[in-house]
Amino acid sequence: MNRPIRYSLVISCFLFFWLIPFFSFNPVSAVAQQEQPAVLVIEGGTLIDGNGGAPVADALIIIRGNQIETVSRKGQAQYPAGARVLQADGKFILPGLMDAHVHYQDFLAELFLTHGVTSVFEIGGGGELGLVRREAIARGKIPGPRLFLAVGSLAGGRIAALGGRSAGDMTLSSRMVIETAAQARDVTRRFAEAGADMIKVHRGPPVEVYRAAAEEAHRLGLPVVAQPIGPTVYAREAVLAGANILEHAAGISISVARDPSKWEGWGYIEEHSLNPTPFSDMDDAKAAEMIELLIQRNVYLEPDLVCEGRSFHEQRDEWEAQDYRLLNDPGLAYFPERTRLKWMGNYTEFDDLEPAQWEMRKKGFQNMQRFIGMFAQAGGKVLAGTDTSGAGWAVAGIGLHHEFELLIEAGLTPMQVIQAATRNVAEGFRQLDQLGTIEAGKLADVVIVNADPLQDIGNLQQIEWVIQDGKVIDRGYHPSFQTPFQGALLEGRTWVRALKKESESMRTTAFGQPPPGIESISPTLVIEGDPTLTLTVKGVGFTSKSRVFFDGAPVPFERVSETELKLTIDASLIIRAGTYPVQVRNPEPLLLPKWGGVSNRAHLLVDYSY
C-alpha cells in the first residue's frame, strides 16, 4: 500500500552534488578511446551468441577492425602476432545489449556503455540533431551507443497541444500532425529520405494514416513502430493496419478489456501512454485471441515494464538504493540536476494515489506483466526497452537490467530475456544483418560478464569488458565528460505559442518593449568551416531596440519586421562543431513584464566536416 514519501534521502543526495567542487570541462576527445590494435581476440569463455542455441564452451572470437572475423573454439584458429588477447576463461560472452526504446541525449552515453548497452533506438524522433549525433558516434567523433532513429513521428491532431507541427512543415525535429493518408505517405517518405531507421506513428491519427504509413514504410524497407492508444485506434486496429512493433505494448489493454466502453476516450492525454490501469479489466479469452493475432502478424512487443510499473515493483527498495548509489558517483557530476530529481522521484510518484486507484493501477501492471509472459510463452517476441531519457522513467543503462528482472518475473526464461535485448531487437528493427548475434561478418559489439546469466539474469550486471565497434571501451565515468551537441534545437515551443497569443492584442511600444520569442531559425544546420552566413530568425516582439546574441555575444542583424530578423554569423563563430544558442533581448521598460525581456533559445547546429 502507500508508503511515506522519502524525500530526505533524495534531497541529501542532490545537496551532495551542490557541494562538489566545479570541474573544468574538457573536450570530448579527453575521454575518447585510445588507439587499439587492429585485431582483438577473445580467447576462452562460454559463448551465448544470441541465437538461442546451447552455449559454446571454450570459444574463440577474432575481431578485425570493427567486424567479427571468426567464431570458433579455442585452439581451432590462429590469429596474428600483435593482436590484443582478452583471456575470457570462466566468463560468458554475449552480443552487445540493446535498449529498444530511448529518447537519447548525449549525457546518457557513459551510463549506457558502462552497463553494456551498445545500441539504442531513438523511437521519439531525434530530428536533425539526432542525425548529426548518429553520424558522429558512428565515425568515432563522440562516444555513445549506436544510435538508430525515427527522425520524427506521425501523430494525431491532439498532439498539436504538445508541440506537434503540421504535415507541411519541413522541420524534422517535431511530431507531425497527420490527418490524411496522402500526408502520411508524404511525411513517411520525407523521414526516410532524411535517413530514418524506422517510421514512428504516435497516438491520435485515424487508422487510414497507420495503414498508409505502414504501406509506404514497408515499400522503403523500414519497420513501423506504433503507440496506438486511441482515441480511435488501439492495438488490434494498428496491427491489422501493418504496425510491426508496439512500444509500451500500447493499446493492448483496451483491445483485451472486458468492457472497452468503460475506457472510452483513453489516450486523449499523454499520461495514458504510461498508465497500465486498463489492464486491470483484462479478459483472458480476449488476451489469448490478441496473442494469436500478434504472433500471426509477427508483431513485436516492447513493454517498458520498468516505467509502466514504476512505484509498484517488488524490487522498489533495492533499485532505489542502487540508483541512489549510482547517481552519487562523483564521476557523474556532469549530470543535470533535473535528471537526478526525476529519476529518483519515479519511486514515489504514485504514493499519494487514493487507495482504490493505487490498487487498480497495481493490478493493471500485474496483468500487463502476465500478458507479456503469456505472449512470450506462446512464441511471441519481446523487445527489452526502458523509455529512458534525460527526464524519463528509468535510469539509463541500469534501467535496462531492471527491465530484465521484470521480464523474468513475467515468465520469460533467461535465454528469452537475453534475446529480448539482442537478437529480437535487431530483427524487429531490421538490423539483424549487422547486429544482434555474435557471428562472422557482423559488427563487433560484445559484452563479457563474469558469471552465467542463464543461471541468474542479474549476472549480466557483472561486466568485465564491453566491446563496441571492435574496441574495448573505457567503462569509467568522467566528471569532465561532454560532447559538442547540447540542448534542443528550439526550446520553449509551448512558451512561445502562449506568448504570441497574449501579445497579439498589444501591438504598440508606446508603453514599453514587447517580450521577444523565437519560433524558428533558418538554416538550422551548417558545417564547421562554412563561410559567413545569413541566419533568418522568425518569431514575435522584434523591435528597433532589440539586440541579438549568438553563443552569448552580440551579432549584427537587420530587422525585417516585428516577426523577422536577419543575422550575420561570421565564419569565425562556426569553426567548431556544436550547438550554438541564439537569443533576442529587448530592453526595459517592458510592455508585459511577467514575460521578461529575453526570448527562448534556438540553436544553430554546426556539424563536423567529414
Quick: pLDDT tens for 406-436. 999 999 999 999 999 999 999 999 999 999 9
Q: Is residue 599 part of a domain?
A: yes
Residue with more model confidence, 557 or 159: 557
The set of cell numbers assigned to 462 is 557483472
Q: How confident is the model at residue 264 (pLDDT cuts 50, 70, 90)?
A: confident
Q: Which amino acid is at 429?
A: F
Residues 152 and 176: their CA atoms lie apart, in Å, by 7
On the CB side of 564, how many CA atoms lie within 13 Å of its CA?
7
Q: Is residue 65 part of a domain?
A: no
pLDDT of 370 strictly over 50? yes
Task: Reduce the DSSP state of residue 584 to 3 states and report it.
Answer: strand
Q: Who contacts 437 (Cβ-Cβ below 8 Å, separation ≥6)?
A: 49, 50, 51, 95, 422, 423, 426
Task: Reduce the DSSP state of residue 154 to 3 states and report it.
Answer: strand
23, 26, 28, 34: CA torsion to nearest 10: -100
Give phi and psi for 320, each to the nearest 5.
-60, -45
pLDDT of 325 strictly over 90? yes
Residues 369 and 311: their CA atoms lie apart, in Å, by 15
Q: Can you give the pLDDT at residue 170?
A: 52
Q: Which amino acid is at 463?
A: I
Q: Can you give the pLDDT at residue 360?
A: 96
Q: What element of type H or E holds 497? A: helix 493-503
Q: Who contacts 575 (Cβ-Cβ below 8 Å, separation ≥6)?
A: 528, 529
Distances (CA, A) of 250 to 230, 306, 315, 366, 487: 9, 15, 24, 15, 29
pLDDT of 165 strictly over 60? no
Residues 392 and 104: their CA atoms lie apart, in Å, by 10
Residue with more model confidence, 167 or 155: 155
Q: Is residue 100 part of a domain?
A: no
Closest to 517 (Cα-Cα) out of 610, 434, 402, 597: 597
Domain membership of residue 520 as a residue range: 493-607
- Give the tens place of pLDDT for each residue, 445-482: 999 999 999 999 999 999 999 999 999 999 999 999 99
Q: Is residue 581 part of a domain?
A: yes
- Averaged over 5-10, what is the pLDDT? 40
Q: Is residue 431 part of a domain?
A: no
Q: Is residue 186 part of a domain?
A: no
Give phi and psi for 377, each to the nearest 5.
-65, -25
Residues 291 and 581: their CA atoms lie apart, in Å, by 49
Residues 374 and 291: their CA atoms lie apart, in Å, by 8
Closest to 400 (Cα-Cα) out of 417, 423, 379: 417
Closest to 457 (Cα-Cα) out of 22, 116, 140, 68: 116
Q: Which amino acid is at 550?
A: F
Q: Can you give the pLDDT at residue 171?
A: 62
Q: Is residue 536 part of a domain?
A: yes
pLDDT of 228 strictly over 50? yes
Q: Is residue 597 part of a domain?
A: yes
Q: Which amino acid is at 96?
A: G
- Averaged over 167-182, what is the pLDDT? 75
Within 10 angstroms of residue 534's Cβ, the number of other Cβ atoms is 12
Residues 164 and 214: their CA atoms lie apart, in Å, by 20
Residues 82 and 193: their CA atoms lie apart, in Å, by 43
Q: Can you give the pLDDT at residue 23?
A: 35
Closest to 207 (Cα-Cα) out of 242, 175, 250: 242
Is residue 278 within 8 Å of residue 253, measured between CB atoms?
yes
Q: Can you give the pLDDT at residue 174?
A: 67
Q: How confident is the model at residue 31 (pLDDT cuts 50, 70, 90)?
A: very low
Q: Can you give the pLDDT at residue 509?
A: 57
The set of cell numbers assigned to 162 is 504538445
pLDDT of 538 strictly over 90? yes
The set of cell numbers assigned to 225 is 513502430
Residue with more model confidence, 545 or 162: 545
Task: Reduce the DSSP state of residue 533 to 3 states and report it.
Answer: strand
- The number of folded domains in the chain is 1
Residues 184 and 190: their CA atoms lie apart, in Å, by 10
Q: What is the pTM of this model?
A: 0.92
Strand partners, 525: 605
pLDDT of 162 strictly over 60? no
Q: How confident is the model at residue 164 (pLDDT cuts 50, 70, 90)?
A: low
Residue with more model confidence, 26 or 155: 155
Q: How confident is the model at residue 145 (pLDDT cuts 50, 70, 90)?
A: very high
Q: Can you give the pLDDT at residue 81?
A: 86
- CATH code of the domain in which 524 resides: 2.60.40.10
Closest to 378 (Cα-Cα) out of 408, 416, 322, 344: 416
- Give the tens place of pLDDT for each residue, 467-524: 999 999 999 999 999 999 988 899 998 899 999 988 776 665 567 899 999 999 999 9
When the pLDDT of each residue in the chain is averaged and rounded to a whole number, the result is 91
Distances (CA, A) of 494 to 25, 141, 154, 165, 477: 32, 33, 19, 12, 35
Rounded percentage of the chain residues whose pLDDT exceeds 70: 90
